[in-house]
Structure 1
Amino acid sequence: MAIEKELNLTKKQRILIMIPLLIGGFIALLNETLLNVAFPQLTSSLHVSTSTVQWLATAYMLIIGILVPVVAFLMETFTTKTLYLTAMGLFTVGTICCGFSQSFTALLIFRMVQGAGTGMLMPIMTNTILTIYPIEKRGSAMGISLIIVVFAPTIGPTLSGLMLQYLNWHWLFFSILPFALFAIITGLISLKNVSNLTKPQIDVLSVILSTIGFGGLIFGICSIESLGFLNGVVLISLLCGFGGLILFTKRQLTLKQPMLELRLFRFPMFSLGTAILMISFMIPFSVNIILPTYFQSSMGMTPFAAGLALLPGSILNMIITPLSGHLFDRIGAKSLVTTGFCILTVTMFCFSHISGSTNLRTIIVLHLFTFLGISLINTPTQTNTLNQLPKKYNSHGVAITNTLQQISAAIGSSLFIGLMGAKQTKYLSKLKNPDILQQHTAIISGVDMAFTAALILIIIALILSLFLKQGETWCKKDKICETSKIS
């Protein structure tokens, strides 16, 4: 039986370590959705289509997905402080360059540089929590950190809407630059090295296969809206994506020192929790892209008003997320997660039946309950999932869960936006000269289609949540770990 010793740190020391990580993570994830409300302005300013502009959100998360095998390697090769400062440096450079970009190509490239920084920041933060907090306190600590993961992206549209009332889109980047610099200074002062370095060797072929796998999969899904599912480019991209992931998986299972320990998926509760997290993370990112688009295109709202309508849900999420972490430490995950998915099932059903007569107040209330459900799900699920692993596999577990969350958010937003656009196009194709009312009806039909797809996924996750267990760490015949009871 393995006994995992925690670092002997005081509460003050833990807080000082977490402050720069929380600040950096908040800024990076806020930046994920900061451009969502600006899409109409960007299409006009950069002379590109809406589907093209969508790549600014998708590519940001795509580059995070490409870092799948690299993140665990980096956390076991470089100290916490070095890795954090490198990640914030990349993010800051990308932010400056995005602010000065004058073309869509330049903006997209430097947006991906930002994504590279974000892709390292979140795993560093989660892995540090697992390292410096004992198991019985992880729920509360994870709840505080997950305020960032969900609250920062949800408040992005509100802040960007406010700025776009008075400034152009360039200031969306310039406005967060001082905070990024502050995060770097704070990291230099208070961040300590807490990681356990094993100095593994990097496997270049694993990186290449992962890039082809995740890159091809997300590119294919993102291209369905504009090219159609049966298009050659889409089919080849999806084929390369699935093929790359299969080869990547096989290689990890044969390496003595894998880049990413995929045998962790033989832990039943780790696998189940990861699947639930992937579905739950599709929802907030997708909702916060679909609704601002609907508000502006169908209801004629300004960018600021569209962002402001999402603010109550964001505030509720900020309140409930740490509370759900505290409740997890007391009552466990299953009841919280199941309740959350029941709430989401009701709200997505209502969202999937939006019509021209649905008023703004109703949509805001549905958005509130959506984020109430999400708040009850994410913290308990992520904490319970990572608690299944022995300490020596923390970095691999964190890399897997954090990256798959980002990939699922990218796939979810692309899938739902694609369904919305496809349904809208199909509706309008039947009309020769659609008037304004018919165009609004087309938008509503697309929104209903997107939320119907989300409803199906949530029902699947609800069923999966009924099988959640806790209190044990499971192992299989490969004996990649030792078992121990978790209280």
Structure 2
Amino acid sequence: METRKHTLILTALVIGSFISIYQTVSLNVALPGFMKIFDTDLNTVQWLMTGFTLATGVIAPLSGYLGNRFGTRELFLFSIASLIITSLLCAFSWNMDSLIVFRILQGVFCGIIQPVTLTIIYQMLPFEKQTFALGLWSASSVLGPALAPTISGWLQSWNWPMIFLIMLPFGVVAWILGWLSLEKSSAKLQKPSFNGIGMIGVVFGSLSLLMVFSHLHQWGIFSISSIVCLLLGIGFLVHFCWRELRIKEPLLDLRLFINKDFSLSLATSAILTSTLYTGIYFIPLYLMEIHQMEAMEVGLLLCLPALFMTVATTISTKYYDRVGAKPLILIGIFFIIVATWAFCSLKVDSSKGFVMLWMTFRYIGLGLSTTPIINAGMSSVPSQLSGDASALMNWIKQVAGAISVGVFTSFFYTRISYYGNTNSHSQEVYVKGLDDVFMLATILTCLSIPLTLLLGKKETKRKKTRMGGKVTKSV
């Protein structure tokens, strides 16, 4: 009976995670199409991604508090239901402004689903099943980038509202399974007091930083807008950290950073997230700008490499308990470095097979390393703090992703200007800029090696039992 219940829980979490990631990347290659559909310019259409990113980045650090306050079951069900509603609203948008607003609302709930599903894995599943569950959760997270560009590219050319409607049946299934299987919050659930000052600090701090790096290329690093937003963001977050470390009931338990393995896994995850975004963002640009491929063609080309990431994630899950986190992470990083280095030699006439081969290597590396990195960090903290830990992990990943896209994009255009963008050599200059971006990404990825080597040899083996509504830990 317990096994059946755990299967239902895991199925609900995996489907929910897949839906949120799918919606996150579904418009990556579809933005040019919306320019034609709503007869608008690129700066306006980009808010479909920018607004969504801001929403997910701002809400992620609050997910731990919301789970503690209302219960993870209730938060999961509410977020899935809200994602269904906002997807319907997006599908029936009557102009670009309404679509942007509904897309931002959709981002809020996508930003909650990822951390809350991760929290539930460590709170409601037995210890011996957590690695397997995390592997499936990670696989569902990478299937989104694998399938979304292909599906959304095809649907946009046929009937664009279906980009948002296609996930509705999966959302209904996830909600029903979650309602049937997830444990209801205890009547004695400890509800933290509302920390309004802390919430203002983390929301405005995150929002300011995300605004800077989302508009870094348009504004320029030394513009008044960039400097003001950067100073505001740093100021809000410094005050937030200072306050949270001094009060009894913090919005987010920052003392988790004292945990060495958690901090190291967090830093490594942030670096590899930045590396992931270089491939997700720049390789489709290369294929569309240089090879003149349509969005659906790009999605089909990148589908096979991303599916290899799912296979690699399954392999890392299978061998995690046998070899531990460190060897798998190091092997994964090796694959990523080799593949990212290969993209430093992109040419105008580089074949599509070249791109597919090295994207496959990159995705295999990410698949091998993602689950061990997350599990090394999450398994090193007490179960009752898993909500704060998952919130911190997703918050840092969201901010790292936004910052990396902003910095790499600004660097890309800086290098294009350096090489001189003449009409007769525009493609060559464009590709040289991409080569430099991947060189910078290779150097960044190398920084994850010493962080991984500093991880503990073996994660703490925890057996968790529930006694009187409390979680106890034995080593």
Same fold (TM over 0.5): yes
Distance 1:68 1:37, change over 3 A: closer
**Residues 73-152 of structure 1 mapped to structure 2, 5 A cutoff:** 73-152=65-144
Q: 2:450 aligns with which of 454, 459, 463?
A: 463
Secondary structure of 1:67 counterpart: helix
Letter in 1 for 2:173: F
Distance 1:131 1:226, change over 3 A: same
Give the distance between the partners of 2:15 and 2:27, measured in 1 at CA.
20
Deviation at 1:156, TM superposition (A): 1.2
- Distance between the aligned counterparts of 2:351 and 2:333, measured in 1? 25
Report the counterpart of residue 173 of structure 1 in structure 2. Answer: 164
| 1:179 Cα offset (Å) | 2.7
In 1, the alpha carbon distance for the partners of 2:434 and 2:42 equals: 16
Which one-letter code corresponds to 1:10 in the other structure?
Answer: E
The corresponding residue for 1:235 is: 227
User: Aligned partners of 1:467, 1:182: CA distance in 2, in Å?
Assistant: 42
Aligned partners of 1:193, 1:265: CA distance in 2, in Å?
Answer: 30
Residue 439 (structure 1) shift = 2.6
Offset at 1:485?
A: 7.6
The Cα shift of 1:74 comes to 1.2
User: 1:417 and 1:193 mapped to 2: Cα distance?
Assistant: 45
Which moves more between the two structures, 87-96 or 266-275?
A: 87-96
* CA contact 2:335–2:362 (8 Å) conserved in 1: yes
1:277-327 Cα distance to aligned partner (Å, 9 max, x none): 111122333312222221111101121111111011111111121221221
Structure 2: how far apart are the matches of 1:396 and 1:402? 10
Contact 1:337/1:465, CA 8 A, preserved across alignment? yes
Query: In the alignment, what sits opposite 1:445?
Result: 432
Q: Give the 5 Å matches for 1:6-405.
A: 10-50=2-42, 52-167=44-159, 169-193=160-184, 197-405=189-397
Q: Which amino acid aligns with 1:346?
A: V
CA distance in 2, matches of 1:273, 1:484: 21
Q: Any gaps of 5 or more consecutive residues in structure 1?
A: 1-8, 475-482
1:484 Cα offset (Å): 7.6
Cα-to-partner distance string for 1:420-452 (whole Å, 9 max, x where unaligned) = 344345555x53xx14xx232232123223222
Segment of structure 1 superposing worse, 324-333 or 373-382: 324-333
Letter in 2 for 1:459: C
Q: Deviations over 1:116-144 (max 9, x none)?
A: 11122112211111123343432221111
Whether the aligned pair in 2 keeps the contact of 1:384 and 1:470 (CA below 8 Å) is no
* Structure 1 residue 49 displacement after superposition: 4.4
Amino acid at match of 1:157: P
Contact 2:308 2:363 in 1 (8 A): yes
Cα distance change on mapping 1:460 and 1:58 into 2, 3 Å: farther
Residues 280 and 137 of structure 1, relative CA distance in 2, 3 Å threshold: same
Q: The residue matched to 1:352 in structure 2 has which SS? A: helix
AA partner of residue 92 (structure 1): I
| Cα distance, 1:106–1:187 mapped onto 2, change above 3 Å | same
Q: Deviations over 1:334-363 (max 9, x none)?
A: 111011111111111111221113111011
Which residue type is aligned with residue 370 of structure 1? R
Show structure 1 runs of 4+ deviating over 4 A: 425-428, 483-486
Change (3 A) 1:410 1:340: same
Gap regions ≥5 residues in structure 2: 462-471
SS at match of 1:310: helix
Structure 1 residue 46 displacement after superposition: 3.8
Q: Which is worse superposed, 101-110 or 80-89?
A: 101-110
Q: Distance in 2 between matches of 1:194 and 1:470?
A: 35
The change in CA–CA distance for 1:160 and 1:104 in structure 2 (over 3 A counts) is same
Contact 2:8 2:178 in 1 (8 A): no
Q: CA deviation at 1:404?
A: 1.6
Displacement, 1:61?
Answer: 2.8
Distance 1:473 1:205, change over 3 A: farther
| Partners of 1:281 and 1:194 in 2: CA distance | 33
Shift of 1:400: 0.8
The match for 1:479 is none
State how many pairs are aligned.
465
Partners of 1:484 and 1:132 in 2: how far apart?
14
Aligned to 2:466: none
The alignment's TM-score, normalised by the length of structure 2, stands at: 0.92
The separation in 2 between residues aligned to 1:84 and 1:340, in whole angstroms, is 31
Task: Provide the rounded CA distance (Å) in 1 between the counterparts of 2:304 and 2:38.
Answer: 32
**Structure 2 CA distance for partners of 1:455 and 1:160, relative to 1, 3 Å:** same
CA distance in 2, matches of 1:230, 1:330: 50
> How far, CA to CA, are the matches of 2:442 and 2:96 in structure 1?
34
> For residues 270 and 249 of structure 1, do their structure 2 counterparts lie closer, same or farther at Cα, with a shift above 3 Å needed?
same
**In structure 2, C-alpha distance between the alignment counterparts of 1:47 and 1:353, rounded to whole Å:** 37
The amino acid that maps onto 1:247 is H
* 2:349 counterpart letter in structure 1: S
Task: From the superposition, tell whether residues 131 and 303 of structure 1 become closer, same or farther in structure 2 (CA, over 3 Å).
Answer: same
Deviation at 1:54, TM superposition (A): 3.5
Shift in Å at residue 148 of structure 1?
1.8
Q: CA deviation at 1:371?
A: 0.4
**Which residue identity does 1:56 align to in structure 2?**
L
Identity of aligned residues (%): 28
Q: Which moved more, 1:280-289 or 1:84-93?
A: 280-289
Cα offset, 1:397, TM superposition = 0.8
Displacement of 1:48 after TM fit?
4.6
CA distance in 1 between partners of 2:473 and 2:168 (Å)? 45
Offset at 1:378?
0.7
Larger deviation: 465-474 or 146-155? 465-474
Asked if the contact 2:89/2:102 (under 8 Å) is kept, the reply is yes
Aligned partners of 2:219 and 2:236: how far apart in 1? 22
Partner of 1:3: none
Q: 1:472 to 1:39 in 2, by over 3 A?
A: closer
- CA–CA distance in 2 between the matches of 1:423 and 1:306? 25
Task: Give the superposed CA RMSD.
Answer: 2.3
